Amino acid sequence: MNRLISIAVASLLSCTMAFSKEVKIGVIMPMSGDIGGFGQSAVEGLNVAYEMNNKLENGDDIKLVLVDNKSDKIEAANAATKLVSYDKVSAIIGALTSTNTMAMTKIAENAKVPVVAPVATNILVTKRKDFVSRVCFSDAFQGEVAANFAMNTLKLKKTVLVTDVKNDYSIGISKVFKRAYKKLGGTILQQVKINQGDADYKAMLSNIKALNPELIFFPIYSAEAALIAKQAKQLGIKAKFMGTDGMTADKVFFEVGGDAVEGFYATDLYSPSTPKTTELAKKYEKAYKAKLNKEVHPFGVLAADSYNVIVNAMNQCEDPTNTICVNEKIRATKSFEGASGMITLENGDAVRSAVINVIKDGKKEYLTTVNP
C-alpha cells in the first residue's frame, strides 16, 4: 500500500514538473555601492521586459534570480558561482559594467553557462570567450566615435585625458581614444589618472587649467565625473568636456553636477530620441513610460534586450536549459528585433550605432547618430 502511494505521489510530482517547467535566468547587477544607480536603472528596464513576456514559446515559465554584486568585482564573481552552482541558471544577464563582468566570465565559461552583458563595453569582455556576448558595442568603436567627434565635428585639437585606473572600462576606452585621436592629428597634452571613489580633484584640475586644453575627455562614471565637473567650474576651467555612456547613466551626475555639467558632450549606447526601427521598441517604450513615467534609460533598455536575446535563443532550442545550445543561438543572433533596435551579434559583440548627446538644462539632448 505504502509503495503504491509513494509511486502515485512520485508520478504526480513528476507530472507537475513536466507541466510547469521553470527556466532560470540569473541576473547579476550592482544594486548598491558606488554604481548602485546603474544597476537599479538596468533592473527597472529589465523588469519591464520581463512583465511583457515571462514565458517561453513552449509554455515554460521564466524565473529571474537577481543577485546584488555591491558594485564590487569579487562580489560579482561570488554571485556567478552562486548562480551556476546553487541556482543552476541556464543563462546569466549581467554584471552590467566591464570590470565586474570581466571578473565573473571565467566562472561562467567553466560552467558553460552563457553570459549576456548589457553595457560592458570594454574590448576584453568578449575577447577569446565562447560563452560571453553583449548587446552593446565595444569600446573599440566607442573610443573612435569619441575621437572622431572631438576632431572632426568639434574641431578641438588639444586634449587632456582623464582615466580612472580602478575601472577597466575607463582604461580600455582611454587607450582606444588616445590612439584614434593622435591618428587624426590631435594632441594629448596629458593623461591624468584618478581612482574610483576619490573626492578631491582640485590639485589635478589646477594643473589642467595651467595647460589650457581645448577639451577634457573623461571616460569615467557618474559620481567622479560630477565631482570633477563641479570642481572644474569652481576653478574656472573653460575647456569643453566630453564623457561616455557611463558618465550620464546615474542621475546623481545631473543632481550634483547641476549647471556645472551644462554643455558637456557624451557618447551613449541608446537614445530615446532616435526613430524606432522595430515593433518591440515602440511597445517597450510605451510599457516603460506607463510603468516608470520617465524617458527610457539606455542601461534599462539594454538589460531588457539582454533578456530578450536570451529568451529568443531559448525559444530556438528544444531544451531551453541546454546551455550549450542556448549559447550557440545567442551568438547566432541576427537581425533580431529588440527593444533598442535591430540586434546582430558578431563574435559576441553587437553591431550597433552610437549616439552622441549634449547636456542641456539638466537633460541629455540628442545630437547625432554614428553608424559603425
Cα 328 to Cα 100: distance, rounded to the nearest angstrom? 23
Contact pick of 21, 129, 158, 193 for other proteins (by CB under 8 A): 193
Beta bridge partners of 333: none
Do the beta carbons of residue 30 and residue 103 sit within 8 Å? no
Let me know the angle formed at the C-alpha of 163 by 157 and 168, rounded to the nearest 5 degrees: 130
Q: Which residues of 136-161 are buried (b: 16+ CB within 10 A; e: fewer)?
A: bbbbbbbbbbbbbbbbeeeebeebbb
37 vs 94 by CB, closer to other proteins: 37
Nearest distance from residue 201's CB to other proteins, in Å? 9
Cell of 158: 588639444
Of 339, 219, 334, nearest in space to 274 by CA: 339
113 vs 119 by CB, closer to other proteins: 119
Residue 194 binds other proteins (CB under 8 A): yes
Cα 345 to Cα 43: distance, rounded to the nearest angstrom? 22
Total residues binding other proteins (CB under 8 A):
42
Cα 29 to Cα 35: distance, rounded to the nearest angstrom? 10
Nearest distance from residue 171's CB to other proteins, in Å? 10
Binding positions for other proteins, 131-170, rule CB under 8 A: 163, 165-166
Cell of 51: 512583465
Helices and strands (DSSP H and E) totals, the chain: 12, 16
Residue 362 binds other proteins (CB under 8 A): no
Nearest distance from residue 134's CB to other proteins, in Å? 24
Nearest distance from residue 335's CB to other proteins, in Å? 36
Contact pick of 51, 255, 279, 346 for other proteins (by CB under 8 A): 255
* Residue 362 neighbours by CB under 8 Å, 6+ apart: 254, 258, 261, 262
3-state secondary structure of 156: coil
Binding positions for other proteins, 23-82, rule CB under 8 A: 31-34, 36-37, 40, 68, 70-71
- Which of the ranges 15-23, 189-197, 303-311, 320-328 carries the binding residues for other proteins, by CB under 8 A? 189-197
Nearest distance from residue 324's CB to other proteins, in Å? 35
Give the type of residue at 71: S
- Which of the ranges 51-59, 252-260, 300-308, 338-346 carries the binding residues for other proteins, by CB under 8 A? 252-260
Contact pick of 111, 256, 351, 358 for other proteins (by CB under 8 A): 256
Residue 17 binds other proteins (CB under 8 A): no
Contact pick of 4, 15, 199, 290 for other proteins (by CB under 8 A): 199
Contact pick of 112, 179, 183, 202 for other proteins (by CB under 8 A): 202
Nearest distance from residue 207's CB to other proteins, in Å? 5
Binding positions for other proteins, 278-307, rule CB under 8 A: none
Pattern 209-248, other proteins, x by CB under 8 A: xx-----------xx--xx--x---xxx------------
DSSP, res 296: P
Residue 190 binds other proteins (CB under 8 A): yes
Contact pick of 4, 15, 203, 290 for other proteins (by CB under 8 A): 203
Burial of 365 (0-12, 13-18, 19+ CB in 10 A): exposed
Of 162, 370, 129, nearest in space to 267 by CA: 370
Q: Report residue 249 CA to chain centroid gap.
A: 9
Of 179, 264, 270, 262, nearest in space to 216 by CA: 264
Where on the chain is the footprint of other proteins (CB under 8 A)? Answer: 31-34, 36-37, 40, 68, 70-71, 163, 165-166, 190-195, 197, 199-200, 202-204, 206-210, 222-223, 226-227, 230, 234-236, 250, 252, 255-256
